[in-house]
Amino acid sequence: MHPKAIILVGGPSRGTRFRPLSLNVPKPLFPVAGKPIISHHIAALSKVEGLKEILLIGFFEDSVFSSFLQDAAREYPNLHIRYLREYQSLGTAGGMYHFRDEILRGNPDQVFVLHADVACTFPLNAMKKAHEGHRGLCTILGTKVPRDSANNFGCLVAKPDTNEVLHYVEKPETFVSNLISCGVYLFDCAIFDEIRKSLENKKGNVETDIYGKEVFQDGNKLRLEQDLLRPLAQSRKLFVYETKDFWRQIKTAGSAVPVNGLYLEQVLHAHPEKLAKSTPGGPDIVGAVYIHPTARIDPNAKLGPNVSIGPNVVVGKGTRIRDSIILDNVDIKQNACILHAIIGWDSKVGCWSRVEGTPPSAHNSTAVTKNGLKIQSVTILGKEVSVKDETIIRNCIVLPHKELKASCENEIVM
């Protein structure tokens, strides 16, 4: 078997809920557990037998991924990883169809498709094994979520004995099932014939693009979910592989904090040597903590659990940090306290200050405000924010380059 993989990275306009962090870095490259979100996808794909090529498909400028791709080429010399740019958003299956010649080059027999904005253990080999054991064209990774959040996702009704999907409904208005699509799929390459059929059904809306290829008219994109998965379920060619491990979406900036914690926990079990440990004369480390080798942490600081510290960060004496992501070049002065927060690049947190949020809810992480008020969640400081000494910033989102001279609570500081 010779599979390929696609990671759907989307484009700039899609990162709006990820503000203010997406103002400085495209969401797929935001660091969680010390590396860009999509590095976790690539690490999992690198363990799939026979997989040699990964295509990132999206509508960001080409230059956005160039240094990431150089680093990835060094880390995975046996993988060929490239970025293919849609000239506009073509929809979740539009890019896949547009670049079909690239995808099919070298005659792969299967293609993995992974959304960039999900985090999980990516049990890809287990999915592949399950896929090869049935006669479907697609195996979809599924997970069970609480009933009240299921309608934010693609919902699946499957036969318990065979895992054959009987119904697929994208974000239904009323409850259908709490087994949902994780945004991770394995397709047989015969899927391109099904996409072709789907195109024919939308015939009136097809036009020719600047490359002479058939596409849908603007506003009528090819949607993996409604245009492909739904008909596949109707023709009994869709199967589900249910994961019992963790799974999260990364939609808002705040959702990066629990994802950071889940990935760090995974590293703590599989490769504890990659994480920080308490040592005599060193800082007090609790649970899973990643510290970049260039960061300087005072021996009287206490960090963890679930903390990632980026390059060149300086953490002062008596500081307490837990459940947080501290990005590059941040300066945290003595006795500051940072809980459930993301501190943006080049920011400064003054002495005895407190930057604090609350843990976000697990599977309803898309809304940032309700009735005009900020929902209780992670506190986020954008790039180059400065928090004065002895200030409390609680449950706030602060846009880049702000100077916070007084305490604030439940605000979006613009």
Ligand X SMILES: Nc1nc2c(ncn2[C@@H]2O[C@H](COP(=O)(O)OP(=O)(O)O[C@H]3O[C@H](CO)[C@@H](O)[C@H](O)[C@@H]3O)[C@@H](O)[C@H]2O)c(=O)[nH]1
Choose among 138, 125, 222: nearest CA to 181.
Answer: 138
Enter the tokens of residue 47: 């363990």
Structure tokens at 384: 């180059």
Q: Is 372 left (phi over 0), alpha (psi -120 to 50) or beta?
A: left
Per-residue binder mask for ligand X (CB under 6 A), 39-68, x = binder: ------------------xxx---------
Report residue 239 as tokens: 């199967």
Window 213-242: residues binding ligand X (CB under 6 A): 225
Please choose, out of 67-75, 174-182, 279-287, 347-355, the segment that lies near ligand X by the rule CB under 6 A: 174-182
Q: What is the largest CA-CA distance in the chain?
A: 71
Part of the chain binding ligand X (CB under 6 A), chosen from 8-16, 256-264, 306-314, 379-387? 8-16
Q: Where is 82: in which H helix or E strand? A: strand 80-85
Return d(Cα 304, Cα 62) in angstroms, integer.
Answer: 37
Of the candidate residues 53, 117, 194, 328, the single one contacting ligand X (CB under 6 A): 117
Lookup: tokens for 193: 């014939």
Cβ 91 vs Cβ 43: under 8 Å: no
Instruction: Identify which of residues 255 and 319 has a Cβ nearer to ligand X in the complex.
Output: 255
**CB-wise, 118 or 404, nearer to ligand X?**
118
In whole angstroms, the minimum distance from the beta carbon of 73 to ligand X comes to: 21
- For ligand X, the binding residue among 118, 119, 137, 337 (CB under 6 A) is 118
> Does residue number 330 form part of the binding site for ligand X (CB under 6 A)?
no
Which residues within the stretch 73-112 sit at the binding site for ligand X (CB under 6 A)? 86, 89-92, 94-95
DSSP characters over 212-248: S-EEEPTT----IIIIIIHHHHHTT-EEEEE--S-EE
Cβ(92)–Cβ(216) below 8 Å:
no
Cis before 305 (ω within 30): yes
Interacting residues with ligand X between 126 and 155 (CB under 6 A): 153-154
Q: Which of 123, 183, 283, 382 binds ligand X (CB under 6 A)?
A: 183
**Rounded Cα–Cα distance for residues 66 and 403 (Å):** 33
Q: Which is nearer to ligand X, 58 or 350 (CB)?
A: 58
Q: How many residues bind ligand X (CB under 6 A)?
A: 27
**Minimal distance in Å, beta carbon 313 to ligand X?**
29
Using CB under 6 A, pick the residue from 33, 81, 116, 337 that binds ligand X: 116
Of positions 29, 180, 289, 381, contacts ligand X by CB under 6 A: 180
> Hey, which residues does 324 pair with through a beta bridge?
307, 341
Contact residues toward ligand X (CB under 6 A) are 8-10, 14, 57-59, 86, 89-92, 94-95, 115-118, 153-154, 170, 180-183, 225, 249
